[in-house]
Amino acid sequence: GSTLRNSFTSSTNLGEDAEAEHFLGVDGATSLKAELVGRIPKIADASKFREARRLLLQLGGPLLLLEELTFAGFVDPNTDMLTVNERPFNVFAHIASGKLRQPALEAEQSALGAHSQKFMICANRPDNDLHWDSTDPKWIQKASMAKRHRFLTTRDLHWQWFNLLIVGMVPSNAGGVHVVQAIREVEEMKAAALH
C-alpha cells in the first residue's frame, strides 16, 4: 500500500527544482537502458527503484524509452503494443498473447483463480531452472533465480505495463493511465501473486 504509493508518486513528481541529469555513456552506454543499468546495476529495494525512476525521468523519461523500444522493434509504432515477432523476441509478450504456450504451467495458471483472466504465470526454460544454483560461469547469467522461479506478467500488451519502472509515468496523451489507476493495477498484480 503506502510504500508502493510512495515509490510511484515520489518519483513522478520531480518538480522544477529537479537537477537535470545528462547521458554520461557509462561503460560505453549508447542507449537509455544501458545508461540506467550502468548507473544502477541492481534494483533490489524500494530506494533503488525510486532512484531508477527518478534517473529515468531526468534522462528523458518514458517517452524516450518508448522511442528506443519502438526503434528496436519491441513496440509497434502504430499501436504502442508490444510486438510478438520472432525478431526481436520478447518471450513474455509471446506468452501473454498466447502465441507461446507453457503447458507445464497450466495448473499454476489456473491457481490464479479470477486473476488468470488478466495475468499469466511464466517460467524460465527447464535448463535454466535445472541450473538455478550452478556456480558454472556458463549458467550464472542465465540460470533461474530459484529452483521453481516463476514470473507474473500481464496479458495487456500495451507497452506501459511491461516494465514496472515506467508504470504510472506514461503521460495520458501518450496512452498512459493515471498514477492512481497504475497503483491499483500493481496492487492487483500483488494480489494475484499472493493468491
61, 169 contact by CB (below 8 A): yes
pLDDT at 141 (0 to 100): 84
Long-range contacts of 144-148 (CB under 8 A, 24+ apart): none
Question: Which sign, positive or negative, has the C-alpha torsion 24, 29, 32, 37?
Answer: negative
Residue 145 is classified by DSSP as S
pLDDT tens readout for residues 10-61: 444 444 344 446 666 666 667 888 889 899 999 999 999 999 999 999 999 9
Q: Check residue 25 and give its pLDDT.
A: 67
pLDDT digits (tens, 9 = 90+) for 83-137: 999 999 999 999 999 999 999 999 999 999 999 999 999 998 888 889 999 999 9
pLDDT score of 86: 93
Q: Which residue type is seen at 120?
A: M
State the Cα–Cα distance between residues 191 and 195, nearest whole angstrom: 6
The string of pLDDT tens digits covering residues 129-159 is: 899 999 999 998 888 888 888 999 999 999 9
Tell me which residue of 84, 18, 90, 26 sits closest to 54, measured CA to CA: 18
Instruction: Write down the residue that cell numbers 494475484 correspond to.
Output: 192
The DSSP bridge partners found for residue 155 are: none
Residues 65 and 52 sit within 8 Å (Cβ to Cβ): no
- In contact, 167 and 8? CB cutoff 8 Å: yes
Distance CA 183, CA 1 (A): 9
How many other C-beta atoms are found inside a 10 Å radius of the C-beta of residue 140?
10
| C-alpha grid cell, residue 36 | 540506467
